[in-house]
Amino acid sequence: MFAKIVAAGVLVLPALAFASDPAKLPVPPSGFDAKNNNIPHGKVELSLSYPTTKYGMRKVTIYTPPGYSTAQKYPVVYLHHGIGGNEVSWVGMGSNEGDAANIMDYLLSKQMAKPMIVVMPDGNVKSASDAFGAFGEVLLNDLIPWVEKSYSVATDPESRAIAGLSMGGGQTFNIGFANPNLFHYIGPYSAAPDTKPPTEIIKDLAAIKQNVKVIYISYGDQDGLITYGQMYHDYFDKNGVTHIWQIEAGQGHTKTVWDRSFYNFATRIFLGSPSGGGGASGSAGASGSAGASGSAGASGSAGSSGGGRGGGGRTGGSAGEAGRSGSAGGSTGTGTGGSGSGGSDTGAGSGGMQASGGTQGSGGKSSSGGTQGSGGSSSASGGAMMASSGGSTGSTASGGQPASSGGAGPSTGSGGSAAPGDSGGEAGCSIGSQGRNGGSLLLVGLGLTALALARRRRA
């Protein structure tokens, strides 16, 4: 379903680049961050407690997607609040810094993101001397192991993301880029002065280039803190690191920037993750069914003089990936002077195999003419046998002229006229191998026939 980022939504993402120009991503649709009672909702567990090794019990809010099941392993994004917030700030409560649950509900209802768990911790360890800095240790040593024990989550770095706003954006820079072996998606929004320089944080640039799939850095163009993100943007440009540098026009240090940033980040993460069900990358589309085989052409009964011809075969089925072959041609027609092969084979559908016993027609149609009658002699008593476009070549009739392309004129042979040409669906019949150039041979044949009759009369 998902492969339409995803699935039905078909979100087209711009190419990532390390050019200096901002990404200029469009503003999300109206209502993307509002609660919508007409779509499924994930479950929000507010202010849960988890143990830490140094700082006692701490608080975290967890979002699980609609239809959450322990039979499935989900990717996880760890989403951090700003300086005045706590574990409920990203769900529109407390300091009200974002609407992560509403955004995820919206994206999942549109099949624009992969189902994921969003972990929103209280990142301010007030009992520590460096309240926001100390949380890095709590996240790595306490919270992540607790989440992976308590929820059905994938534990590989390809299924783990870190993001945050303001002071949480600084935490995202400091923790994420110091641990590219743990986080393959990193999204700092409006990062604050707690952001450390890239030369201090990044110890393995090659690992970042190789492992980190999405780097999403954003600011409002009126935000006075933009210089903290700018130093990473410039560093990545200088070192050829692919990243998104998104600047929201007319915005400062605002919730609008943070909601838009989470929307854009969530649609781009976990696209290559092996865990979980449908989501932003979308499942591969199902292959087209094979084309149905063409029905066998019904055989036409031979005329009483042997001059009739088999009926035209019905059109072969069109193929999907490879059409199956059409059935064999109709049964043998009967007539005076021996049996003529009356029925015609259907050709293969477009891209399909050739029908058993038939010749392949153009465009998936083939109506082969009947073979010669009258005991296997060179001409059937009566009319000329026809070859359709793409069909087999007919034999000439005794006393008649072969049909020309596009339909035959009448002939004057003994017993009847030549059958009309079969257009084969589009074009007129092609001339048989004895065609127009065989006309002179027919004249010779007429002369020989007349001579034979004269000798019989003398006898």
**Strand 76-80, strand 117-121: pairing:** parallel
Beta-bridge partners for 78: 119, 162
Q: Where are the domains of the chain?
A: 43-266, 330-374+383-459
Do residues 370 and 298 lie in contact, with contact meaning Cβ atoms separated by under 8 Å?
Answer: no
**Residue 347 φ then ψ, to 5°:** -80, 175
Phi, psi (deg, nearest 5) at residue 317? -70, 150
Q: The domain 43-266 belongs to what CATH superfamily?
A: Alpha/Beta hydrolase fold, catalytic domain (3.40.50.1820)
All residues at 6 or more sequence positions from 130 whose CB lies less than 8 Å from its CB, including other chains: none
SS3 257: helix
Look at the alpha carbons of 381, 398, 383, 365 in this order and tell me if their dihedral is positive or negative.
positive
User: How distant, in Å, are the alpha carbons of 101, 262, 341 from that of 375?
Assistant: 84, 84, 12
Amino acid present at 293: S
The encoded tokens of residue 211 equal: 């492992």
Residue 216 pairs in a beta bridge with: 244
Q: Beta partners for 298?
A: none
What residues have CB less than 8 Å from 198, skipping those under 6 apart? Answer: 177, 231, 232, 235, 236
Q: What angle separates helix 255-266 from helix 100-109, to the nearest 10 degrees?
A: 40
The set of residues, in sequence order, having a beta carbon less than 8 Å from that of 281 and lying 6+ positions away, is 2, 3, 5, 6, 114, 270, 271, 272
Q: Which residues of 354-369 are buried (b: 16+ CB within 10 A; e: fewer)?
A: bbeebbbbbbbbbbbb
pLDDT tens for the 459 residues of the chain, in order = 444 444 444 344 444 444 457 999 999 999 999 999 999 999 999 999 999 999 999 999 999 999 999 999 999 999 999 999 999 999 999 999 999 999 999 999 999 999 999 999 999 999 999 999 999 999 999 999 999 999 999 999 999 999 999 999 999 999 999 999 999 999 999 999 999 999 999 999 999 999 999 999 999 999 999 999 999 999 999 999 999 999 999 999 999 999 999 999 999 999 975 443 333 333 333 434 333 333 333 333 333 333 333 333 333 333 333 333 333 333 333 333 333 333 333 333 333 333 333 333 333 333 333 333 333 333 333 333 333 333 333 333 333 333 333 333 333 333 333 333 333 333 333 333 333 334 443 333 444 444 445 555 554
